[in-house]
Amino acid sequence: LRALCKSPETFAPYHVMHNCTIGTWPQQLPDLLAAKGGGILVFWEADDDHRRDSNVFKNFSAMQASKPQLCTFHDLTAENPKYPRLGSGIRCPGMSRNDHSDVPGTGESCYTMEPDASCLTDTIRFATRSARPIPGLSQAPAGSALQKGIPSKGLRVFVRVRPAISREAGIDTCIKTCQLQDWEEPEGWE
């Protein structure tokens, strides 16, 4: 969260977090996500280090309640969670500290996420979707005026067609040209 708030241009519009902790909640996070046209998908597995009374749990819960387009929050240790728990501790000798402890977050235990198929599918779908249109930001046109059937009265196209050269003699042309009637050369034409 600190990196996202410090350098938002570095990050994509959508983010996935699991048991995220931060000492001071970034008040600008909802505005930043809205400005990027994105959102955040949060998974929470309550334990001694990730409690429900933490500022992060409370703020993510509040953001989902007040701005669901910006935050989707899943408490995986609630009574009826949508997904099963994601985390597991595996032993990885040589990683982390030198203590010989199998408790996640200490010693040689490495914490991995192991989502089930539906959770993985939903997470990938969330993280790879296109940003929402940002209000007030100009958008590229979806099609030309011609494709939309809108005539353009002010558009003029001038094409200079040279006579055929010797190697092109006898080749059928794919264009037909004719002089414009009542056309006057604009100032500075040549």
Q: Does the CA dihedral 118-121-124-129 come out positive or negative?
A: negative
pLDDT digits (tens, 9 = 90+) for 13-50: 999 998 888 889 999 999 999 999 999 999 998 888 88
DSSP secondary structure letters along 63-77: HHHH-TTTEEEEETT
Rg (CA), the chain: 30
pLDDT at 54: 92
Residue whose structure tokens are 């929470």: 44
pLDDT digits (tens, 9 = 90+) for 121-163: 999 999 999 988 877 777 777 787 778 877 766 767 777 777 7
Cβ–Cβ under 8 Å, residues 115 and 86 = yes
At residue 54, φ and ψ (nearest 5 deg) are: -75, 155
pLDDT digits (tens, 9 = 90+) for 72-128: 999 998 899 999 888 766 656 655 555 555 555 555 556 677 889 999 999 999 999
- The residue ranking higher by pLDDT, 185 or 58, is 58
At residue 34, φ and ψ (nearest 5 deg) are: -65, -40
Residue 175's Cα: distance from chain center in Å?
A: 45
Percent of the chain with pLDDT over 70: 79
Structure tokens at 88: 């597991």
Cβ–Cβ under 8 Å, residues 36 and 129 = no
The DSSP call for residue 189 is -
- Residue type at position 49: D
**Burial category of 109 from C-beta neighbours within 10 Å (exposed 0-12, middle 13-18, buried 19 and up):** buried
pLDDT at 75: 94
Whether the model pTM is above 0.85: no
Structure tokens at 54: 């933490």
The DSSP call for residue 52 is T
Residue 174's Cα: distance from chain center in Å?
A: 44
27/43 Cα distance (integer angstroms): 20
